[in-house]
Amino acid sequence: MLYYLLYPLKKYFIGFNLFRYITFRSAYAIVTALILSFLIGPAIMRWARKKRFGETIRDDGPSHHQKKAGTPSMGGIMIILSTLISVLLWAKLENIYIILFLLTMLLYGLLGFVDDYIKIVKKNKKGLQVKVKFGGQVLISILIMSILFIFFKNHSLLTQLYIPFIKNSILDLGIIYFFIGILIMVGSSNAVNLTDGLDGLAIGTSLLVIAAFTIISYVSGHIKIAEYLMIPYIKNIGETTVFGAALIGSSLGFLWYNAHPADIFMGDTGALSLGGVIGLYSIILKKEILLLIVGGIFVIEALSVIIQVLSFKLRGKRVFKMAPLHHHYELMGIPESKIIIRFWIVGLILALIGLSTLKIR
């Protein structure tokens, strides 16, 4: 919005020319979203306490988690609102990628909100039925992938498969990619949701992944840098740097309140929307396989659940004391704060490895 209002004024004052630069708008998108989070956060927590929208803690989890019962939830509203307002202020809103990101964030956030509402307000610990929740995720992903295929029907890059450390695509998947995209978005949203079990764990890990993809989106949209790094140049993708920056700012603001011991939880409202956005980022940047590296924490957490379920069904035995993996370490007696920080460190290393693939090709 500010771009359309102020950039045309450059003929009167050269300073307004700054609004043409993605880096300038991205920097202020971070600051704006961060400040908005600080302003919106206390209001959302007061509202949640007034409405008694407190978290219900599962009975089969670590016993010390019971003291967290009643902590305000649905904090994902803070992330979504701060990001939305910041993007509306600083991004070019006609950009198809910005539209897709906003649509993904809002639709997955709405689905998560309904799930949280049923859990917290209706006092149903199970929330939405699994098939309804999963079906909603699939439908949203189908919508997003359909828009991508319609808008980029003549863009062969969309269906190309790239592998880290190799500069050229190895395969054109054609229409098969449509279904792979759905799988990535649904899988990513669920993986972030599974990781959201300790104070600051999901949001801190998401921050690292989003930061990595934000950097990649900038270099992928800059034709000279893309050519130098020998990565696919994606026209107009650079504008998503502004979105990523806004999401970084709002996530940092949320982490301020969600850090251990948490004052508020993000709930499915935040986890599903963050996961959906991360999945979409990997798709449009052609970094689907790289997501397995930079989002390695999410992958490990999801795999621990899958392994646990399969092992119990096939062998009648559990591999972990409890799944997802972070609960396994809790039951081993490792303090929650130490688990969180160690997961962040691993996440940072994985993000740096992911970024290194831009040069090592």
Q: Is residue 361 part of a domain?
A: no
> What is the pLDDT at residue 126?
78
The stretch 280-298 carries a mean pLDDT of: 96
Mean pLDDT across the stretch 165-192? Answer: 92
The gap between the terminal CA atoms of the chain, to the nearest Å, is 38
Q: Are 85 and 74 in contact (CB under 8 A)?
A: no
Q: Is the per-residue pLDDT at 218 higher than 90?
A: yes
Dist CA 112 CA 199 (whole Å)? 18
pLDDT digits (tens, 9 = 90+) for 147-176: 999 988 656 788 999 988 887 777 889 899
Helix and strand numbers, DSSP H then E, in the chain: 14, 2
Q: pLDDT class for 361, splitting at 50, 70, 90?
A: confident
Give 315 or 69, the one with higher predicted confidence. 315
Residue 244 lies in a domain: yes
Is residue 54 scored above 80 in pLDDT? no
CB atoms within 10 A of CB 59: 9
Tens-place pLDDT, residues 243-256: 999 999 999 999 99
7 versus 348: the higher-pLDDT residue is 348
Separation in Å, CA 279 to CA 162, 228, 289: 15, 26, 11
Flag whether pLDDT at 9 surpasses 90.
Answer: no
- Residue 215: inside a domain: yes
Range of the domain at 243: 25-356
Strand partners, 54: 72
Q: Is residue 153 part of a domain?
A: yes
Would you give the DSSP letter of residue 155?
-
Give domain status of residue 5, yes or no. no
3-class secondary structure, 175:
coil
Provide the number of structural domains found in the chain: 1
Residue 60 lies in a domain: yes
Residue 255 tokens read as: 């982490």
Note the pTM of the prediction, 2 decimals.
0.94
Report the C-alpha gap between 14 and 102 in whole angstroms. Answer: 31
